[in-house]
């Protein structure tokens, strides 16, 4: 007979996070010109040592990151880095413009309920990318870090999605692994692979930004008699996004 001790989990509510932001807003409405707009910009930075919540008995996690374990269980403070939901720049632009078709001479032959009540609405959102972490996928040490081992970074990639192969974000194609070194079979290493913890930090790279543009043509038409009228609205939306 053989015996042993299974995996043991030590759960603590110790964690640390900090968030700073600068939020600005500019708005203007001109009834005479029939236009209204609002511009919002946020510059922010969020830091923490985990962006998820570890569930009971190791069964579940919640949050934007499904990895709640540190690489080095004896030094969770080394996980401090950008939050997984950290978005440095957020710009939103909202514009609504009344379209005075009823004032155009060549449309005056049409009835007013056909040419009036038209508006053009635009909502645009531009954000910078979110951070992500590179994992080695190898148990580097004897700590059994549950797939959170990170490699050493050996070079500085130029991140871009404008290359002929858009998915080649690091720019070296099949040789992207050359930017990293997995520290196994090293002097003083531990575990089955005789390795150590990697020096690459958590959430050290940022993904591409996200752009969203929504345009709607709106028509408001009153229904019923004066004093007891209702309005019907027709919308013709056109949306586009790019990440």
Domain extent listing, the chain? 134-200
In the three-class reduction of DSSP (H, G, I as helix; E, B as strand; rest coil), residue 146 is classed as coil
pLDDT over threshold 50, residue 88: yes
The whole-chain average pLDDT of the chain stands at 83
The model's pLDDT over 93-143, given as tens digits with 9 standing for 90+, comes to 999 998 888 777 777 777 777 788 888 999 999 999 999 999 998 999 988
pLDDT at position 238 = 64
Q: What is the mean pLDDT of residues 169-180?
A: 92
- Whether the CB-CB separation of 52 and 62 falls below 8 Å is answered with yes
In the three-class reduction of DSSP (H, G, I as helix; E, B as strand; rest coil), residue 175 is classed as helix
Query: Among 56-70, 135-149, 166-180, which is the least confidently predicted range?
Result: 56-70
pLDDT over threshold 60, residue 67: yes
Residues 234, 220: Cα–Cα separation, whole Å: 7
Q: What is the mean pLDDT of residues 150-161?
A: 93
In the three-class reduction of DSSP (H, G, I as helix; E, B as strand; rest coil), residue 84 is classed as coil
pLDDT over threshold 70, residue 179: yes
Of these ranges, 3-7, 39-43, 106-110, the one predicted with the greatest mean pLDDT is 39-43
pLDDT over threshold 80, residue 240: no
| Residue of higher predicted confidence among 239 and 138 | 138
Residues 41, 189: Cα–Cα separation, whole Å: 48
HSE at residue 129, side-chain half, CA atoms within 13 A, is: 15
Residues 212, 224: Cα–Cα separation, whole Å: 38
CA distances from 205 to 57, 131, 135, 201 (A): 31, 5, 12, 9
| Residue of higher predicted confidence among 66 and 200 | 200
């Amino acid at each position: 007979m053989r015996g042993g001790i299974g995996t043991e989990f030590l759960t603590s509510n110790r964690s640390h996070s900090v968030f700073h932001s600068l939020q600005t807003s500019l708005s203007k409405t001109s009834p005479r010109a029939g236009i209204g707009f609002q511009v919002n910009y946020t510059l922010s930075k969020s830091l923490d040592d985990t962006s998820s919540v570890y569930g009971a008995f190791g069964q579940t996690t919640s949050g934007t990151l499904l990895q709640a374990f540190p690489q080095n269980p004896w030094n969770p403070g080394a996980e401090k880095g950008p939050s997984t939901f950290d978005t440095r720049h957020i710009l939103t632009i909202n514009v609504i413009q009344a379209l005075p078709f009823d004032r155009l001479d060549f449309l005056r032959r049409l009835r007013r309920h056909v040419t009036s009540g038209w508006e053009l609405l635009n909502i645009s959102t531009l954000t910078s990318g979110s951070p992500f972490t590179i994992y080695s996928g190898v148990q580097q040490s004897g700590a059994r870090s549950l797939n959170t081992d990170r490699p050493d970074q050996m070079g500085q990639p130029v991140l871009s999605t404008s290359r002929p192969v858009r998915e080649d974000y690091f720019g070296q194609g099949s040789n992207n692994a050359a930017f990293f070194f997995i520290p196994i079979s090293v002097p003083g290493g531990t575990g089955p692979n005789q390795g150590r913890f990697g020096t690459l930090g958590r959430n050290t790279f940022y993904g591409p930004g996200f752009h969203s543009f929504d345009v709607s043509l709106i028509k408001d038409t009153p229904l019923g008699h004066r004093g007891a009228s209702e309005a019907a609205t027709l919308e013709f939306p056109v949306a586009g996004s790019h990440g």
